[in-house]
């Protein structure tokens, strides 16, 4: 059962209609109607979709643009980079051929690095978001519904997780993983680094969402409809899936939309600190790392990923706010 949301009446329409249709609107439909009226929300959704499309169509863009993110153009073609490894042309070598310029030293195409970099960042962040949300839901519901000792135990685990200096821990943990899984004469495989990043980000992020959902479940558990279900002999599984979960989708969706940009920036920060994606996989965070190393001579190389990440995060944060407004019109920002 879902708590009925107040129907948004549209007086003009209903009065004008010959036979007033009283078709029920599902909460999802109501949310969609409210969201469509929110211009900021629609615009930010468009930007987010644009980023997703670019990520999905990266190979097509690469084919149209005629370049790939791996070829060392600057080293293959003389005259693009000077003796110090910096682009000859001003503004980081921006030209009609290299739209966003050339990477210093290695001479790769910056535009392609950015386009393919979205894939890396988004894949890692999306995978971590799904895992975090799933673990958060399970832990939150179990703690809130079971109560007692289970609740206490999960509560303490959440406290400890939230007290961990997570960035420091992830940085320190990377060499440990490498030491255990990779023999010294081998190079770290890309998948191992990606999986480690996803697992570590998940390990420290689930506690926040679990704590929020636990609180929600605690208050929902005392509501009449849950009590009614229990009295009529509904099984715990039925109460959780049919009574509690439908009322939790709103906070879950809001948290997930805000979590994704947070994880994209967290991944970028880890790459910036040197424990992110490894070469030659294009990655925004590593572009920042390189950008901060060469900023004296080539600030352009830092500006492109910086602005791209800024737009991406702003769009996602706006989208998160709009989703919240659409779901819960009572909360006004």
Partner 1 sequence: MLRFLTRRTLGAAVTLVIIAAITFFLFFAIPSDPARLACGKVCPPELLEQARHNLGLDQPLFAQFTAWLTGIFAGRDYGGLGYCPAPCLGYSFVNQAPVFETILDRLPVTISLTIGAAAVFLVFGVATGIIAALNQGRPLDKIASVSSLIGFSLQIYFVGTLALYFLVYKNQILARPQYLPFTEDPLAWASGLALPWVVLSIIFTANYTRMTRSTMVEQLGEDYVRTARAKGMKGRSVVMRFALRGTLTTVVTIFGVDLGALIGGAIITETTFGLQGLGRLSINAVTDSDLPVLMATVLVAAGAIIVFNIVVDALYAFIDPRVRLS
Give 91 or 167: the residue with its C-beta nearer to partner 1. 167
Contacts of 118 by beta carbon, 8 Å cutoff, 6+ apart: 51, 54, 55, 58, 284, 308, 312
Should residue 50 be labelled a site residue for partner 1 when binding is judged by CB under 8 A? no
**Which residue, among 190, 193, 209, has the nearest Cα to 260 in the 3D structure?**
209
CA end-to-end span of the chain, whole Å?
28
By CB under 8 A, the residues from 216 to 275 that bind partner 1 are 261, 265, 268-269, 272-273
Q: How far is the CB of 306 from partner 1 (least distance, A)?
A: 4
The nearer residue to partner 1, 18 or 330, going by C-beta atoms, is: 330
Looking at the Cβ atoms of 42 and 314, the one nearer to partner 1 is 314
How big is the chain by its Cα radius of gyration, in Å?
Answer: 25
From residue 286, alpha-carbon distances to 23, 117, 198, 313 in Å are 53, 9, 17, 17
Which residues, other chains included, contact 133 with Cβ-Cβ below 8 Å and sequence gap of 6+?
A: 209, 252, 255, 256, 259
* Minimum CB–partner distance for residue 231 and partner 1 (Å): 32
Q: Is 179 in the site for partner 1 (CB under 8 A)?
A: yes
CA geometry: angle 275, 278, 281, nearest 5 deg? 140
- C-alpha triplet 320, 276, 85: angle, nearest 5°: 115
Q: Are 167 and 239 in contact (CB under 8 A)?
A: no
Q: Residue 152, interface with partner 1 (CB under 8 A)?
A: no
**302 near partner 1, rule: CB under 8 A:** yes
Strand positions, DSSP E, 44-154: none
**Least distance (Å) between residue 103 CB and partner 1:** 16
Q: Is 173 in the site for partner 1 (CB under 8 A)?
A: yes
Interface pick for partner 1 out of 309, 319, 323, 326 (rule CB under 8 A):
309
Minimum distance from residue 166 beta carbon to partner 1 (Å): 10
**Are 38 and 322 a contacting pair, CB within 8 Å?**
yes
Q: Pick between residue 71 and residue 161 the one whose CB is nearest to partner 1.
A: 161
What residues between 271 and 290 interact with partner 1 by CB under 8 A? 272-273, 288
197 binds partner 1, rule: CB under 8 A = no
Cα–Cα distance for residue pair 159/214, rounded to 1 Å: 13
Q: Give the contacts of 278 (CB within 8 A, at least 6 positions apart).
A: 187, 188, 190, 193
**Closest distance of CB 160 from partner 1, Å:** 5
Nearer to partner 1, 172 or 228 (CB): 172
Asked if 314 is part of the footprint of partner 1 (rule: CB under 8 A), the reply reads: yes
Interaction of residue 95 with partner 1, rule CB under 8 A: no
Question: What residues line the site for partner 1 (CB under 8 A)?
Answer: 159-160, 162-165, 167-169, 171-173, 175-176, 179-180, 261, 265, 268-269, 272-273, 288, 291-292, 295-296, 299, 302-303, 306, 309-310, 313-314, 317-318, 332-333
């Amino acid at each position: 059962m879902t708590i009925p949301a107040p129907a948004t009446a549209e007086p003009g329409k209903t009065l004008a209609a010959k036979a007033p249709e009283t078709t029920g609107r599902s909460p999802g439909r109501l949310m969609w109607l409210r969201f469509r009226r929110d211009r900021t929300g629609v615009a930010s959704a468009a930007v987010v979709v644009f980023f997703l499309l670019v990520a999905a169509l990266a190979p097509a863009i690469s084919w149209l643009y005629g370049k790939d993110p791996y070829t060392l153009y600057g080293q293959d073609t003389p005259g693009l980079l000077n003796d110090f490894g910096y682009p000859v042309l001003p503004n980081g070598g921006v030209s009609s051929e290299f739209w966003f310029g050339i990477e210093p030293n290695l001479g790769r195409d910056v535009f392609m690095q950015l386009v393919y970099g979205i894939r890396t960042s988004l894949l890692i962040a999306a995978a971590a978001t799904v895992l975090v949300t799933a673990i958060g839901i399970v832990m939150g519901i179990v703690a809130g519904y079971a109560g007692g000792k289970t609740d206490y135990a999960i509560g303490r685990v959440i406290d400890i997780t939230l007290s961990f200096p997570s960035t420091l821990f992830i940085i320190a943990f990377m060499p440990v993983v490498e030491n255990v899984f990779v023999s010294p004469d081998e190079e770290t495989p890309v998948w191992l680094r990606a999986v480690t990043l996803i697992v570590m980000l998940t390990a420290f992020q689930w506690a926040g969402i679990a704590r929020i959902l636990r609180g929600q479940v605690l208050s929902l558990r005392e509501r009449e409809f849950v009590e009614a279900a229990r009295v009529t002999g509904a099984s715990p599984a039925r109460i959780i899936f049919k009574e509690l979960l439908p009322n939790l989708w709103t906070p879950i969706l809001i948290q997930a939309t805000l979590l994704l940009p947070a994880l994209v920036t967290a991944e970028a920060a880890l790459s910036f600190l040197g424990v992110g994606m490894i070469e030659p996989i294009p990655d925004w965070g590593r572009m920042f790392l390189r950008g901060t190393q060469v900023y004296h001579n080539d600030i352009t190389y830092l500006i492109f990923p910086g602005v791209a990440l800024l737009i991406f995060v702003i769009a996602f944060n706006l989208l998160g706010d709009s989703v919240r407004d659409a779901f819960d019109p009572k909360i006004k920002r």
